[in-house]
Chains A and B, each alone.
Chain A
Amino acid sequence: GAGVSQSPSNKVTEKGKDVELRCDPISGHTALYWYRQSLGQGLEFLIYFQGNSAPDKSGLPSDRFSAERTGGSVSTLTIQRTQQEDSAVYLCASSLEARGLQAYEQYFGPGTRLTVT
C-alpha cells in the first residue's frame, strides 16, 4: 500500500510569506505527527493529531505555526510570516494509534524541504 506522502517536496519562499505544507498519512492510521529537522540536527516534535484533535501542540515554536487535520486524514501545517530560521525539513509521520506501543511505530514521509530566503 501507499506510504505517507508529503507535498511539496521542496518549497522556496521569501521571508514574510505564508506557506502550507501537506501530509497524506497511511490509510487507516488515526495518529499523525509533524516534526522539524534542521540541517544536521535531530527530530524536533511539533504537534500530533489523534483523529482530528491535537492533544499536544507543545512543540509548535511560535504562534506563527498552526496545523489542522480534517476527516481524520490529510493534515496541513501552516507557517505564517516565514522567517529564515524556519528553513528546515518538515517531516510528517503516521501510526495506527497515538496510544501504546503503536505510537512508536511511526511511518515517516519523505519530508518537505523549506527554504526561506
Chain B
Amino acid sequence: QQQVKQSPQSLIVQKGGISIINCAYENTAFDYFPWYQQFPGKGPALLIAIRPDVSEKKEGRFTISFNKSAKQFSLHIMDSQPGDSATYFCAAGPAYQKVTFGTGTKLQVIP
C-alpha cells in the first residue's frame, strides 16, 4: 500500500512537444503529491506539488493533473526544452509520515 508506481521508465520527446509522466498510488491516506527533478550528478530538487483538493496545478510550463477517484496523478511539461532533460520522480504520502518516491522517469528532449 506504500507503493507509488511511475511510468514510463524513460521518455524521448522532441523539442516543443509535451512530456507526460504518470504515477499511481494505492494508499488513500496519501494527501500530498510532489514532483522532483534530478539532473545527473545532483540531488533531486522539488519542482511542483499538489494537494488532492484540487484537480490541476500549473507553474509555468509544468502542470500536475490529479484524479482522486482513479488514484492517479501526472506531470505534463509543455513546450519541452533540451534543458528539461533530467530524471523526474513523483512522490506521495500522508502529511505526517515519510515520503514514498516513484521509480523515476528519465526524460530526454531532443532538438
Chain A contacts with B in 40-74, Cβ cutoff 8 A: 41-43, 45, 48, 56, 59
Pick the residue among B34, B36, B42, B98 that contacts A110 (CB under 8 A): B42
In the complex, what distance in Å separates the CA atom of A103 from the CA atom of B98? 8
Interface residues on B, range: 20 to 34
Contacts of B6 in A (CB 8 A): 42
Interface residues of B in 1-60 (CB under 8 A from A): 6, 32, 34, 36, 41-46, 49
CB of B46 within 8 A of CB of A99, answer no
Write out the residue numbers on chain B whose beta carbons fall within 8 Å of the beta carbon of A111. 43
List the 10 shortest-distance A-B pairs measured between CB atoms, nearest first: A108-B43, A42-B103, A43-B101, A104-B34, A42-B104, A108-B44, A100-B95, A104-B32, A42-B101, A109-B43
